[in-house]
Amino acid sequence: MALLLFGSAGTMAYWQGWVYLAIFTGASAVTTGYLIQRDPALLERRMSGGPTAETRPVQKVIMLAASLAFIALLVVPALDYRLEGAQVPRWLAIAGDLLVAVGFAFILRVYRENTPAPCCI
């Protein structure tokens, strides 16, 4: 991710990339820690993802498209920064980062709600 972000931006001084990377890494670490403790089976299933993990051709195509979209999510804003395209106000970039964090919080909430209770495993 760092290579895509900072390579596309052409600089390590891309503060928006650092903030996004910190949020993504932190949220992933919290989610992984939670799954290690509460639902290791789900963590194991989540570790084998992407187009190669799917068995049905339609699912392979969907996962390939999702993977390419995720790469574009990193590369396009960084290229925009490099080429001095849209001048996004600092507050709007921070608001976007907060929405990313909220999205991760929702993902963790879904995992918590769908994790079997210890008595029922």
pTM: 0.83
Q: Picking from 8-12, 35-39, 77-81, 99-103, which range would have the lowest pLDDT averaged per residue?
A: 35-39
Mean pLDDT of 33-39: 90
State the chain's mean pLDDT as an integer.
90
Residue 75's alpha-carbon distances to 27, 34, 43, 51, in angstroms, are: 20, 29, 27, 20
Torsion angle (degrees, nearest 10) of CA 74, 77, 81, 87:
-150
User: Are 49 and 63 spatial neighbours (Cβ–Cβ below 8 Å)?
Assistant: yes
Q: What is the pLDDT of residues 53-111, one digit of tens each?
A: 778 889 889 988 999 999 999 999 999 999 998 889 999 999 999 999 999 999 999 98
81: buried, middle or exposed (CB in 10 Å: 19+, 13-18, 0-12)? buried
For 89-110, the three-class secondary structure string (H helix, E strand, C coil) is CHHHHHHHHHHHHHHHHHHHHH
Residue 3 has pLDDT above 60, yes or no: yes
| Separation CA 62–CA 51 (nearest Å) | 8
Residue 121 has pLDDT above 60, yes or no: no
Domain of residue 106 covers 2-120
Number of domains in the chain: 1
